[in-house]
Amino acid sequence: MDKLNNSKIIQKIASELGLKRYRDGQNAIREFCIQEVENIKTQFGLIDNLSKLLEVVSSFLRIRFEEVNDDNDIEAISKKYLAQGELKFADLSRELDASTDAVMICLMKDKVWRYSAVIDCRGYKKFRAYFTKWHEVAHILTRSPQTFLFHRTPYFKRDPEEILVDRIAGDLAFYTPLFLPELLARTKTTKRLTFDIIEEIREIVCQGASREATIRGAISRAPFPQLMVIADYGLKKSEEKELSSNQGLLFTEGNGQFLPKLRAVDVIVNKPALNIGLWIHKNMEVPQESIIRKAYEESSPNEIYHNRENLSWWKHSRGGQLNNICVDVEVTKIGRRVYAFISICP
């Protein structure tokens, strides 16, 4: 059972939503939120994309989004709401710091909107804005109005409630009834994801979503085996652990075991892939012969490489290798990292 189900706050949320009879509190809450969105959606006729769904659901819940694209926006938003008598906005610049994605404030004076969600879109956070908005919607769906006055959403989600709400946001940001038909239509023949397919889906059904978030949403919903590796230079897990207890030893002369290597710093895999043994351990070193390494070292940003490889090329540091499976690999470099779709050979 997921550890979240043992959390007292998750049990409390489930109880407040009237879900006391469910053993799996987390999934009961997630299903409740999906059903709430479905109930809202049915009241507004045809909705054919996720950006429109976000607009409809947030409006129904009386959430007004404010986007901060630079520091001047914070001052302008503060002045606007302070002029309306919303005194909590006096601290906005302090509340919306570098470690915070958004601030949600219950409005006391507004006759139309009940909440103002201030979304930080500065720098790299602009790529998270679409998902952050759904995160704020999920907070309102899981709380009674009487208990919600102010909330700060941290960038790093460690608290059980924030982890739960992030999972709900993942359910809603790529709402299956709208997202899955487009995914299935574009993978009917290939039975695998490509970067072109991801861009087509983004353009049609979820324009506001980032590429990485769309990839994660597509992999989790794909009915066929699909794996993605994100590669960058990093350390083994054991090296990271040792480093944390021996600060200052990194890269010292003669300490070659701490030198970063090109590794799978993140791995995204779905259940169909796990069921057939298509998986790669996080932090495994990228094989020398893999196209992933060539793309990292030689490619231009967004250039796409293809190669047919074998999963057994991936070897454990202590010996042994992964399953003998023929795989198609499609790779592109985004920023300093390489993203690689890994699929079963046809």
pLDDT of 248 strictly over 70: no
* Length reported for the chain: 346
Residue with tokens 């793309």: 295
pLDDT-above-70 percentage for the chain: 92
Closest to 194 (Cα-Cα) out of 220, 209, 215, 223? 215
User: What's the pLDDT score for residue 253?
Assistant: 45
210 close to 128: Cβ distance less than 8 angstroms: yes
Q: Could you read off the pLDDT of 12-67 as tens digits, one per residue? A: 899 899 987 777 889 999 999 999 999 999 999 899 999 999 999 999 999 999 99
HEC profile of 240-295? HHHHHHCCCCCCCCCCHHHCCEEEEEEEEECHHHHHCCCCCCCCCECCCCCHHHHH
Residue 45 phi/psi, 5° resolution? 70, -150
- Say what the pLDDT of residue 185 is: 97
Q: Rounded CA gap, 173 and 51, in Å?
A: 9
For the chain, domain boundaries? 47-169, 225-344
